[in-house]
């Protein structure tokens, strides 16, 4: 697998440069470092995720991990990076390095000025990509996904704050028939506390959408929203606005955006319902679409050792160009974890995703995924792990245009050592 890595390298340089600038301006604190290394062996019976001519292989993975923490009364920093080096026994051309990194940084520079930087760079294998993000189209392809967001907040008055945000996101797919996408976003917002339970927000956002580095659309959005906190852990948020869309080779047009969220916290559980409508990137298929996802999710702690979670969603995607992409997706995801002993933990997860495609070259797809895993702590900083993943999806052969079922089984076992 080969990904374009220039974007990731640029972002790492930008993030490190930003942190160096900010850390010099905060009160000196103590840095803490944690390192780890894991070694695993996997049997994969379909490494190319093909419906026919399946190729099996043994894959050795070496994953070093580096974590940096820095905490003071005004500053909180955590940065982690863990490249995964993969070595294929029979297909050495597939040897690769899969990157995974995350960054969280927030600091109160003055009594009125705060800054926050969040970055997540993650390699997502095909058998985990489906249904990972509600409203985002999913495909049977490995992908590299990154989102960087920086926020500067300044309290102008006692109850009013000015917020400036900048973000960048890219998605690179392994399959060459899928279109990589990149998005730049700039936001200026004003948040006003009406009461202790009400916050009124006003936002102006400018976004540039790119596909394979070619500018496809520029979108300007103006919206207003309010969040109200009721008694007993019930929170309601609502927003709405207009969008001005300037799409390449298309006449400028306007549309509307909206958002609604309801969350409820119970003593040992929580539940949330969310709806969103906005113009965004047509994941993988290229072009720009109006996407409307609605999701319901919850988590329940049945006992101190046993908890479960679920997510169900329905999402529509309609191309702004008229008939290029019109999709409907829905699915259900279930998961749970159980602590057998203080040393042994187990997890189980399963999902079903249905994707309906109309007006595009794709076909309707159904995918099933299941995973079980266990981690055994031998010593405080030394553990072993095991997992089995099952993945099935009906896919369209791009050459023969024949639909077949793709099935993938992966068995993994390994060890991990951590030291401070």
Residue given tokens 């997890």 in the structure block? 347
> Which CATH class for the 6-419 domain?
mainly beta
Closest to 118 (Cα-Cα) out of 11, 4, 223: 11
Burial label for 33, CB within 10 Å (0-12, 13-18, 19+), is: exposed
Q: What is the pTM of this model?
A: 0.84
Q: Name the 3-class secondary structure at 160.
A: strand
Eight-class DSSP state of 16 = H
In the chain, where the domains are located? 6-419
Residues 193-230 as b/e (b if ≥16 CB within 10 A, e otherwise) read: eeeeeebbbbbebebbbbbeeeebbbbebebebebeee
Q: How many separate helices (H) and strands (E) can be counted in the chain? A: 2, 22
Q: What is the pLDDT of residues 360-381, one digit of tens each?
A: 445 688 889 999 999 999 999 9
CA nearest 58: which of 100, 98, 92? Answer: 92
Residue with tokens 């956002």: 205
Q: Which residues of the chain have pLDDT under 70?
A: 1-28, 127, 129-136, 213, 322-325, 357-363, 395-402
Coil, strand or helix at 11: helix
Residue at token pair 């704050």: 161
Give every CB contact of residue 368 below 8 A, 6+ residues apart in sequence.
350, 351, 352, 390, 391, 392, 393
Give me 246's structure tokens.
């300037």
Q: What integer pLDDT is reported at residue 2 of this predicted model?
A: 42
Token look-up 């955006």 returns 257
Cα dist. 269→81, 218, 262, 302, 348 in Å? 32, 41, 14, 9, 19
């Amino acid at each position: 697998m080969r990904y374009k890595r220039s974007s990731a390298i640029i972002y790492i340089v930008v993030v490190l440069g930003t942190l160096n600038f900010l850390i010099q301006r905060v009160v000196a604190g103590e840095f803490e470092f944690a390192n780890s290394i894991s070694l695993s062996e996997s049997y994969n019976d379909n490494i190319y995720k093909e419906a026919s001519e399946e190729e099996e292989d043994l894959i050795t993975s070496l994953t070093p991990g580096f974590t940096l923490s820095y905490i003071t009364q005004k500053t909180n920093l955590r940065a982690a990076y863990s490249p995964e080096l993969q070595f294929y026994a029979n297909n050495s051309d597939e040897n690769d390095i899969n990157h995974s990194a995350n960054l969280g940084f927030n600091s109160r520079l003055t009594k009125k000025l705060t800054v926050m930087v969040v970055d997540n760079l993650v390699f997502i294998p095909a058998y985990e990509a489906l249904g990972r993000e509600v409203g985002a189209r999913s495909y049977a392809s490995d992908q590299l996904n990154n989102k960087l967001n920086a926020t500067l907040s300044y309290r102008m008055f006692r109850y009013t704050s000015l917020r400036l945000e900048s973000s960048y996101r890219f998605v690179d797919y392994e399959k060459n028939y899928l279109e990589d996408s990149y998005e730049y976003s700039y936001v200026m917002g004003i948040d006003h506390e009406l009461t202790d339970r009400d916050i009124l927000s006003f936002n102006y956002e400018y976004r540039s959408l790119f596909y394979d580095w070619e500018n496809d659309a520029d979108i300007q959005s103006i919206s207003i929203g309010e969040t109200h906190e009721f008694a007993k852990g019930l929170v309601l948020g609502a927003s709405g606005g207009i969008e001005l869309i300037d799409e390449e080779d298309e006449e400028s047009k306007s549309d509307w955006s909206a958002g609604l969220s309801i969350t409820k916290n119970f003593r040992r559980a929580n539940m949330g319902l969310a709806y969103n409508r906005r113009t965004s990137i047509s994941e993988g298929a290229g072009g720009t679409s109006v996407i409307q996802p609605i999701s319901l999710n919850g988590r329940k702690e049945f006992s101190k050792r046993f908890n479960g979670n679920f997510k169900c969603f329905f999402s529509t995607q309609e191309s702004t160009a008229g008939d290029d992409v019109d999709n409907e997706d829905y699915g259900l995801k279930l998961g749970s974890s159980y602590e057998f002993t203080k040393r042994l933990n187990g997890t189980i997860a399963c999902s079903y995703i249905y994707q309906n495609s109309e007006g595009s070259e794709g076909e309707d797809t159904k995918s099933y995924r299941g995973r079980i895993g266990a981690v055994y702590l031998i010593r405080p900083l030394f553990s072993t792990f095991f997992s089995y993943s099952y993945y099935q999806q009906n896919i369209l052969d791009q050459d023969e245009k024949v639909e077949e079922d793709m099935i993938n089984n992966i068995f993994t076992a390994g060890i991990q050592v951590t030291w401070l």
